[in-house]
Structure 1
Amino acid sequence: MSGLKSTTSNPWKTATLAGMASYLDAAALVTSGIAIGGYYAAPLQLGPETIGSLLGLQTLAFAAGALLGGRLGDRFGRRAIFTFSLVLYAVGVLLLLVATGPALLFAGVVTTGLAIGADLPVSLALVNEEAPEGKKGTMVLFSSMLWLAGIVAVLMLSSFVGAQGMSGGRILFAHLLVVAVVVLLLRLTLTESAEWAAARRAADAHPNTTAETIEFSRVRDLFRAPTGYALLATGLYYATWNLGANTLGQFGTFLWTALAKGEVAQFSQLTLLGLPVGFVAGLVFMRVIDRPARHAWFAAGTALIVIAWALPALFGPGRFTLVAVMLISGLGNSFAGESIYKIWSQELFPTLLRATATGVTMAFTRAFAGLAALGTPAFALGHTRLFFGLLLGVTSVSAVIGLVWVPRLPRAAQPEEPAEPSGAPVPETTEKAAP
């Protein structure tokens, strides 16, 4: 289907509205942590165990939603699933907004977790499939910028409502509800992915074909060559890279206060300081992501991430090394990590398995991070050097996978074109897009 043209008159409209899944994902996770762990905790008498269960359950629900939503999106279409998932998201946020006890909170976190998990893989696939040739990577990467915007929006809003107690938490959830409803109404104006529709018709018309150029559509096809290797490589890369990023996201404040004896407000200010740098770096990477130069930028970003985690592993977790980890890895993540994983997830898988594969690797990564998080506080305090040494180790594993393994994987071939290595150089304006 490389000859298909997008039926969307404005691909950036599609990229923005579908990419808002990343904004709503980040905003929901950050808002839940701030509102449930802070504003709601005392008024609703939520103990540490309850707060941990609520936030952990939201992560597990995300994993389940990604598995289910990704597969349904490949089977029944992008538009139907990302519309339903956003309705579910609005319901979940409404439950969290009006909650007066743990029961509604549990219902709300499960519902929002399922919704954002289902939305992300399908929305990424739609952005890729409706983007014009030579701009697919740019528009998929744009979703990462919206993810960052979601964090910034919540942190800024939280800084204004911090003194309002439980009402502050309700205001944060109201923000999510308003954005979700507006995006839902605007998404109704989008059409179905032309690429997916054509692939679905071809698969339904020839369900028993055995040609090597078959457009893979069955789940079992995901686990045989060549897609099986791509699934393993992208899943392992994302999970090993994300362990460090998730540790900073969930436990950065804990590590700063417990190990470096710093103050919470100080850490929050440093976190906000790094966000503009990441945003500008992301804009720069958007300009090269569809060009041959992207591999060099990815290598540079990977090197920064490894160097960042080497500092506390070698010199201990002091204030300087923890700030360096946050700022240096944050810059490196603009050119590697989740941003490049999203690109690979679109390039390496055929149309009718694209969202399924993304859902599987996202679910695996979230579950892996969730299990690791259970022992993080105790392990970090009791075996500090070993803790940071392990984080450096898994980060190095992700570097090897991204630099050595992934470039050797074949991009998903179209029926009319042969597969090509994912790391092969391509002309700047005529790069073949993944199906």
Structure 2
Amino acid sequence: MSLNPMTPERRRAWWTAGIAGMASYLDAGAIVTTGTALVLYQDELGITSGQFGQLSALLMVMIGLGALIGGNLSDRFGRRRVFTVTMVLYAVGALILVAAPGVGALYLGILLLGFASGADLPPSLAMIAEAAPENDEGKMVAFSHVLWMIAIPVVNVFGIIVGGMGATGARIMYGHLLVVALVVLVLRMRLPESPLWARRQVDVDTGAVDRASLKDLFSRRWFPALAGVALFYAITNIAANTNGQFSTYMYVNVAGADVSTASAMSLVGLGCSIAASLFLMRIVDTRYRMLAFLLGTVAAVIACLVPAVVGISILALVLFGVVYGISGIVSGEPMFKVWSQELIPTAHRSTAQGVSIAFARAVAAGVGLVTPAILDRSAELMFLFLAGVILVAGLIGLLWVARRPKVLQAEKDPTTHPQPADSPTS
């Protein structure tokens, strides 16, 4: 694979990818911070177990709702305008959580934090892809997933440092998110609007095209691409969400390990995932992408079959975590991020991502409700289910999504990449 020279255009694109991609850092930061901070707030604010569950669920629901609304607003009013407003809302939510005097303030803060986090994702990913030079789109979009994963150990380090401080520790953890959001807000105010969205807006203003509409997105021109990426993401995310949300539960309640062991092994898996993400950035814009996707799918299925066949033990869970930590990257969520940019036109790109993210979060929440009961009944059965889920997602990716015509590069340079006949721009 040849290396592209670091031209001024590419430097500007990488700067945009970093600043816009911080949406992923702040999304992961909100999820992981809330999981720890609510525990630290329990004694001082008197959080009950029921309220703990409600606040955790509220965060996920608002992330999905935010993605749905923010995505559509971004297609209508611009990437830069929307993700600037979302950073303001995120900072306000984080500030409320820093200063929360009682449980009621936690509900308001988490509502704003979750909504802003979700609403920030679609326009930010669209901005990255639309500003990237040709043949660098996938690489720069995949970089956002690296930022998502980096947030996890950063927040965990904060948790280790302030874990014995009670409510003060929780305020410090949310303070970290507040500071990062304010810095990102200042930096984003200097970013120009997405060139593709700005070009399309000129056509809207001159009457050359109609304003983006949900009706057109759900038409026969674009619905197959939307349905494909949404189903792929929702199904593959079941395995990723189960691994992330219930890994400690499986180590402690099924394999008989302690929390420290579970945390250490989770960090090992996370390190493997970060390495795999860097590898994906190298090959995602090359002809080796789908070969890596196929091999990743096969490896992920095998990773699930190990504990399903040999039984649940610490070693089996470690093997699963390491192999899935690598294979789940090249065949999972990062590929959704790349495909959702390539297959949907600028007029609907952000809206489509919002629909897909909201759908995937709803599916994950539904599966998560019954996961503990399945694990208690038969953890081996759960891993067989996950193997089937990954196989189905892989087939959707290989036989459906990967075969859809790409429109992103055609929009950037229609003379070099003529638009497919069955996929006209809006």
Match of 2:259 in 1: 264
d(CA) in 2 for partners of 1:102, 1:201: 47
Tell me if 1:277 matches 2:272.
Answer: yes
Q: Which amino acid counterpart does residue 130 of structure 2 have in structure 1? A: E
Q: Which amino acid counterpart does residue 20 of structure 2 have in structure 1? A: A
Aligned positions, number: 413
The CA deviation at 1:293 is 1.1
Q: 1:24 aligns with which of 23, 26, 34?
A: 26
Q: Deviations over 1:42-75 (max 9, x none)?
A: 3222222211110111000011100100000000
Q: Which amino acid counterpart does residue 182 of structure 1 have in structure 2? A: V
Match of 1:154 in 2: 155
Match of 1:332 in 2: 327
Match of 1:430 in 2: none
SS of alignment partner, residue 323 of structure 1: helix
TM-score, normalised with respect to structure 1: 0.90
8 Å contact from structure 1 (residues 69, 122) kept in 2: yes
> Against the structure 1 CA distance between its residues 316 and 226, is the aligned structure 2 distance closer, same or farther, given a 3 Å change threshold?
farther
1:301-380 counterparts in 2 under 5 A? 301-380=296-375
Identity of aligned residues (%): 42
TM-score, normalised with respect to structure 2: 0.92
The CA deviation at 1:409 is 1.1
Tell me if 1:200 matches 2:182.
Answer: no
d(CA) in 2 for partners of 1:179, 1:140: 20
Match of 1:241 in 2: 236
8 Å contact from structure 2 (residues 10, 133) kept in 1: no
d(CA) in 1 for partners of 2:373, 2:367: 11
d(CA) in 1 for partners of 2:32, 2:153: 10
Q: Deviations over 1:404-432 (max 9, x none)?
A: 2112111125466222999xxxxxxxxxx
Match of 2:3 in 1: none
Match of 2:186 in 1: 185
Tell me if 1:75 matches 2:70.
Answer: no
Deviates more, 1:288-297 or 1:317-326: 317-326
Q: 2:377 aligns with which of 372, 382, 387?
A: 382
8 Å contact from structure 1 (residues 138, 289) kept in 2: yes
SS of alignment partner, residue 94 of structure 1: helix
> Against the structure 1 CA distance between its residues 208 and 168, is the aligned structure 2 distance closer, same or farther, given a 3 Å change threshold?
closer
d(CA) in 1 for partners of 2:308, 2:204: 51
Match of 1:35 in 2: 37
The CA deviation at 1:350 is 0.4
Deviates more, 1:302-311 or 1:383-392: 383-392
d(CA) in 1 for partners of 2:226, 2:307: 32
Q: Which amino acid counterpart does residue 419 of structure 1 have in structure 2? A: P
Q: Which runs of 5 or more structure 2 residues have no equivalent in the other structure?
A: 1-7
d(CA) in 1 for partners of 2:68, 2:192: 24
The CA deviation at 1:204 is 4.0
Match of 2:49 in 1: 48
The CA deviation at 1:253 is 1.0
Q: Deviations over 1:328-349 (max 9, x none)?
A: 1111123121111100000000
d(CA) in 1 for partners of 2:151, 2:105: 24
d(CA) in 2 for partners of 1:108, 1:200: 34
d(CA) in 2 for partners of 1:420, 1:295: 24
8 Å contact from structure 1 (residues 226, 410) kept in 2: no
Q: Which runs of 5 or more structure 1 residues have no equivalent in the other structure?
A: 1-5, 210-215, 423-433
The CA deviation at 1:315 is 2.6
